[in-house]
Amino acid sequence: MSGELSPIDKAKFVAAKRAVDFVEDGMRVGLGTGSTAAWMVRCLGELVREDGLRIKGVPTSSRTAELARDCGITVVSLDEARWLDLTIDGADEFDQDLNLIKGGGGALLQEKIVATASDQMIVIADVGKEVEHLGHFPLPLEVIPFGWQTTQALAEEMLISMDVLGRQSSLRMNGAAPYVTDEGNYILDLHLNRIGNARQLAMVLNQIPGVVENGLFIDICDKVVVGFGDGRVEVRDINDGSIEEGRLDFLEDDNLFRDLGE
């Protein structure tokens, strides 16, 4: 497998592989959405099939639910699980305080609900997702379809008073039609370039009529597992400030992800 993976894919794989070490038998686990989270779901599926790991997975999107079932993971709703031991998910950006931008995959609402209903959230990411200041990646804003252009105008006007470098926004598209989330909403991508006060911005955005949720995850992530293209992996814990370093070796005959569609 390793000969077929790009350095970024290797970094995603080692982060996902290391993160599932935190999953214990009997846990209720939130399953994130996105390319890196898909590697994690496949790793968990392997543990379920080959090691007899017993878990209940709460997916954060319909496509993650489908993948989890295909991998043999028992899937339940958040209402059935009620509370989770752990959520493992990816991120589009993270800073040194483990604040995040999420939603590039369009599942930010369910991702935030699931993450905040967990005892612990672990983020898995390749090292390229680490930034000094959030905002280079467009900030997703989930909005209801009714009056979305008014909501967009209100958001752009509000950004004038915020500590950001850009104030443009765009409606996320799926071909010729607006992208629609699992909850039937639209997504506005805010092109901010740099966010000076993420906590303030998150609170203000959610006060705009028509906004359902924003993609800033503040004080939610407990650990980030950072993968590198050479197989190195770091586990950074925001609670105790520790950094654990390691390395995962690749097996040439490891075909765990041979049919994974990114």
Tens of pLDDT, residues 54-84: 999 999 999 999 999 999 999 999 999 999 9
Q: Is 2-131+219-247 assigned to CATH 3.40.50.1360?
A: yes
- Please give the positions annotated as active site: 111
Residue 253 labeled ligand binder: no
pLDDT at residue 94, as a whole number: 98
Q: Rounded to a whole number, what is the distance in angstroms from the first to the last CA of the chain?
A: 15
pLDDT at residue 258, as a whole number: 52
Tens of pLDDT, residues 114-140: 999 999 999 999 999 999 999 999 999
Residue 70 labeled ligand binder: no
Instruction: State the fold for domain 139-213.
Output: Alpha-Beta Plaits (3.30.70)
Tens of pLDDT, residues 224-261: 999 999 999 999 999 999 999 999 886 544 555 454 44
Q: Nearest 5 degrees, angle CA 109-CA 112-CA 114?
A: 105
Q: Which letter does DSSP use for residue 129 in this model?
A: G
Residue 35 labeled ligand binder: yes
Residue 12 labeled ligand binder: no
pLDDT at residue 261, as a whole number: 41
Residue range(s) of every CATH 3.30.70.260 domain in the chain: 139-213
Residue range(s) of every CATH 3.40.50.1360 domain in the chain: 2-131+219-247
pLDDT at residue 2, as a whole number: 45
pLDDT at residue 93, as a whole number: 98
Tens of pLDDT, residues 19-65: 999 999 999 999 999 999 999 999 999 999 999 999 999 999 999 99
Residues 6+ apart with CB under 8 A from 145: 178, 184, 185, 186
